[in-house]
Amino acid sequence: MGIKGRLITGNIMRDRFMRLLSYEARLLWIGLICMADDQGRLENDAFVIRAEIFPFDNIEIDTIEKELEALEKVGYIMKYSAEDRELIQITKWWKHQDWMNYPQPSKFQPPEGWIDRIRIRTREGIRESGMEAMGGFDPRMRIQKIEVDKQNGGNGNHPSIKVDTRDTVWANDIFVRVTGFPMIPPRQRAEAIEVILALRSRFPNEEEQIAYMKRKFELWQNTKGKDGRYYSKNNLGWLLDWCVTDGGEDTAEDDGWEVL
């Protein structure tokens, strides 16, 4: 494997789900980008990963595995099996590493529906595959995910969500227990589920997650906008913004959210 030169942009560090991760998980995330091959893949071996990314730290293997789970929950990586190997695919690889002019093929089989971008020099000239595409998961799979998302009450704007009926039911139940509403508002259901599921990586159990979300919900309702009116409990800014950024603790002024 080894550490390779990769492009680490501000967009990677400013991603809203970065705040849901521990410092160890954030460093692990950057390390995985540097460890991955030109197609964003590497072996899912916690011992090797620890040796490459944390050579000077006495970090437990259980911690590495726990933080890998956290990265998967927020959608940064996908763990899968192929040819009797446990592998990791960085899911938005080509969003951040599309600068490579000659990405080399991977020795690992891609996950189902993934499109590699390859350009290599041979004696016969330059051979390439997929360079005209954006790379990543096949758009046809994206369309299928959009349809599944819509069937589950979403608007199709967040097709990256791994739709699992058990997860969506669980997320809706958490929302109901926090707010007292009968359900997540359909218009924002997909994004709300994405955030609630991502928050799981921050808390050891659902009771602590619920307590955290309830605090944000209550703070939201007790915060006034510039017009002097309290924020509406029907506005999901408390969940989609404050729960992600840990906002609202020290603010009493308008954050730019519309008071409904």
| Statement: 10-99 belongs to CATH 3.40.50.2300 | no
pTM above 0.75, yes or no: no
Return the DSSP state at 230. B
pLDDT band at 255; cut points 50, 70, 90? very low
pLDDT at 220 over 50: yes
Question: Averaged over 69-84, what is the pLDDT?
Answer: 89
Residues 157-183 as b/e (b if ≥16 CB within 10 A, e otherwise) read: ebbebeeeeeebebbbebbeebbeeee
The CA distance from 47 to 124, in Å, is 41
Residue 210 has what pLDDT? Answer: 95
Element (H, E) at 190: helix 189-199
Higher pLDDT, 133 or 198: 198
pLDDT band at 136; cut points 50, 70, 90? confident
CATH 1.10.10.10 domain extents, the chain: 10-99
List phi, psi (to 5°) of 43.
Answer: -75, 140
